[in-house]
Amino acid sequence: MASLKVRQGWDRTVYLVNIVLACITVIPLFLIIGKIVMEGYEQINWDFFTKTAPTAVEAMMAKRANTIEGSRTILPGGIANGIVGTLLMTFVASIIAIPIGLLGGIYLSENRSSHLASVVRFVTDLLQGTPSIVIGIIVYAWIVLPMRGYSALAGAVALAIMMLPLIIRSTEETLARLPKSFKESALALGCSYRKMVLKILLPSAMGGLLTGILLAVSRIIGETAPLIMTALGSARISWTLDTPSSAVPLLIWEFYSDPNLQELIWSSSLFLLLLVLLLNFIAKRISARTRY
């Protein structure tokens, strides 16, 4: 009886310790989110989404006017050039990375024991651990120098390279979790291998595949280092791939470097944070609804 009470006491102690450690873990997250929301929400308005970033002179004039009036500084302009650049480069990067990543993941799943699959898996893991600035330098040498200029295309290629490992490994793991009876039944009924993959495996694993893709997009959408080396940034809204383009992370870096624009850091960070949280929420919902 005494031994049972001792074990129950240890169970309660461990349970309470886990609760305390979990609370300690999430406290920094809530502090960061709270700080960004409190500092950034006032700057978000219609102009924030429709106008380009203000110049240092415009920010100085707005600060002087607000100082005279005694109101809180609300800078003119917004981050429309960064939003357009982020969406454009992410879209192009997805077009490049998703087909290649899916094909790579299918190959690894269907040829697990082959020598080539082992090499591809090793290179994928190595690429996933490569610092983003190194990828930016490589793409700078591959695309920026031959094109003789920075461009949104170069930035998209750098982001696509960063997406590839996540999509490949998530596709492999998702397909590996499918029951083998799916494949065996399709082949037993005379279905060709190509149709079995396209008509049976991929639709059955669609939830997991979409989750991996969304997580890959949320991973790259806040990258700054590779875009500095490839897209460079732009003060205007650019819809073309062969010219320099801005992005929200690049604007945050530019605002940080200019004392007159630092009020926009918080609002831009809030927008980026909400976008990443939305993508992660969608990915979690898709994952929760997926059943094999």
Question: Is residue 168 scored above 90 in pLDDT?
Answer: yes
pLDDT at 291: 56
pLDDT at 6: 74
- Fold of the 80-290 domain: MetI-like fold (1.10.3720)
DSSP, collapsed to helix, strand or coil, labels residue 43 as helix
pLDDT at 70: 47
Spatial distance between the Cα atoms of 266 and 41, rounded to a whole number of angstroms: 8
pLDDT at 67: 62
Average pLDDT over residues 234-245: 92
Average pLDDT over residues 260-286: 88
pLDDT at 194: 84
pLDDT at 286: 80
The predicted-structure confidence for 17-42, as pLDDT tens digits, reads as follows: 889 988 898 898 888 889 899 988 88
Burial of 179 (0-12, 13-18, 19+ CB in 10 A): exposed
DSSP, collapsed to helix, strand or coil, labels residue 232 as strand
| Confidence band for 145, pLDDT divided at 50, 70 and 90 | very high
Termini Cα distance of the chain: 45
Cα–Cα nearest to 253, from 264, 244, 245: 264
| Confidence band for 68, pLDDT divided at 50, 70 and 90 | low
Cα–Cα nearest to 163, from 208, 100, 77, 247: 100
pLDDT at 96: 96
pLDDT at 160: 96
pLDDT at 290: 62
DSSP string over 155-189 = HHHHHHHHHHHHHHHHHHHHHHTS-HHHHHHHHHT
Residue 283 region by backbone torsions, left for phi larger than 0, else alpha for psi between -120 and 50, else beta: alpha
Are 59 and 261 in contact by the 8 Å Cβ rule? The answer is yes
Q: Considering the chain, what is the average pLDDT of its residues?
A: 88
What is the value of pTM for the model shown?
0.89
Token pair belonging to 219: 């991973």
